[in-house]
Amino acid sequence: MAVMVVVAFVAFLMFNFVGDPVDNMVGQEASYADREAMRDRLGLNDPFLVQFTRFAGNAVQGEFGISYRLQRPVADLISERMPATLELVMASAILAILIGIPLGVYTGIRRDALSSRLVLMFSLVGVSLPTFVIGILLIYVFAVILGVLPSFGRGEAVQLGWWSTGFLTVSGWKAIILPSITLALFQMTLILRLVRSEMLEVMRTDYIKFARARGLSDRTINFGHAFKNTLVPVITIIGLNVGSLIAFSIITETVFQWPGMGFLFIQAVGFADVPVMAAYLVLVALVFVGINLLVDILYFVVDPRLRVDRSVAMGGDE
């Protein structure tokens, strides 16, 4: 909760310095009086604290004001754009997890195999190439040269109540492939390398050695005993990274002209559209807080040592 207030405050504070929105809204020839009138109407002449309180009070009710640029309620804009971003992030997260974890486990177990080395080499590319370069490369190969996938947009979206989804049309599926790969690549390689190093660590522990000495099969040891012990750090990183997927999606959405929140945000920045920027930041912060909560809950599910103990009192003694 405190986190949210601070983020809201910082977001708001910051946007008071990004430029004067009025400049963009009135024409070149506007008189000083016109500008003042506009400022008054928008409440920009009120003291800072008054502005902030008003902003925060409204934000709690899901009301983020009216976009200076589009003259429409920010809440509407965001809820229009959110499904696109969330679908993109979801697709990327699933892609990153489904590919990253198995490859990480594999390279952790077969650490000297040629295939593992190749995977690691490839993962280095994913870690070090910037997102926009990957996006542009993918566009070049699949959209320009091969012409099989669209280079921009979201394809046809189907409206399901307030949620618009691209998963119900072929063009929607085609359109999401490139952006989600672009967005997932960095996370995937990060997860891969993390899982691998955690696996290497766990494979050296005594309980794995002891599990071998008990004659358990490799499968049981690798997946049942070793992998589960890598989960706590892996969940932490995945959780944090779903948050940063949303942040990274700004770049991906710009490259692919994806009609999501990140694209909206970039346009808002160019225009000093304070209500939109503030609303976006607050929303992202909310997602981060939510994810962290989820991660903490998952810890308890995975690691019994973290559960508040029913049996500490009867903890065995000689």
Q: H or E stretch including 145?
A: none
* Four-CA torsion 287, 292, 293, 299, nearest 10 degrees: 150
Size of the site for another protein (CB under 8 A): 29
Q: H or E stretch including 167?
A: none
Reduce the DSSP state of residue 164 to 3 states and report it.
strand
Contact 76, 62 (CB under 8 A): no
Tell whether residue 81 is a contact of another protein (CB under 8 A): no
Tell whether residue 173 is a contact of another protein (CB under 8 A): no
CB of 123 to another protein, least distance (A): 24
CB of 103 to another protein, least distance (A): 23
- Only one of the segments 5-13, 69-77, 139-147, 214-222 lies at the binding site for another protein (rule: CB under 8 A); that segment is 214-222
CB of 256 to another protein, least distance (A): 41
- Only one of the segments 29-37, 146-154, 251-259, 296-304 lies at the binding site for another protein (rule: CB under 8 A); that segment is 296-304
Q: Which of 28, 114, 304, 308 binds another protein (CB under 8 A)?
A: 304
> Which pairs with CB-CB distance under 8 Å and at least 24 residues apart come from 133-139?
134/182, 134/185, 135/178, 135/179, 135/182, 135/251, 135/252, 135/255, 135/256, 136/255, 138/178, 138/181, 138/182, 139/178, 139/255, 139/256
Nearer to another protein, 170 or 312 (CB): 312
Instruction: List, in order, residues 6 or more apart from 111 with CB less than 8 Å away.
Output: 196, 200
User: Dmax of the chain from CA atoms?
Assistant: 89
Q: Which of 182, 229, 241, 249 binds another protein (CB under 8 A)?
A: 229
- Only one of the segments 75-83, 215-223, 250-258, 264-272 lies at the binding site for another protein (rule: CB under 8 A); that segment is 215-223
Tell whether residue 128 is a contact of another protein (CB under 8 A): no
- Only one of the segments 20-28, 130-138, 221-229, 245-253 lies at the binding site for another protein (rule: CB under 8 A); that segment is 221-229
Nearer to another protein, 27 or 304 (CB): 304
Partners of 163 in the beta sheet?
160
- Contact residues toward another protein (CB under 8 A) are 205-207, 209-218, 220, 225, 228-229, 302-305, 309, 311-312, 314-318
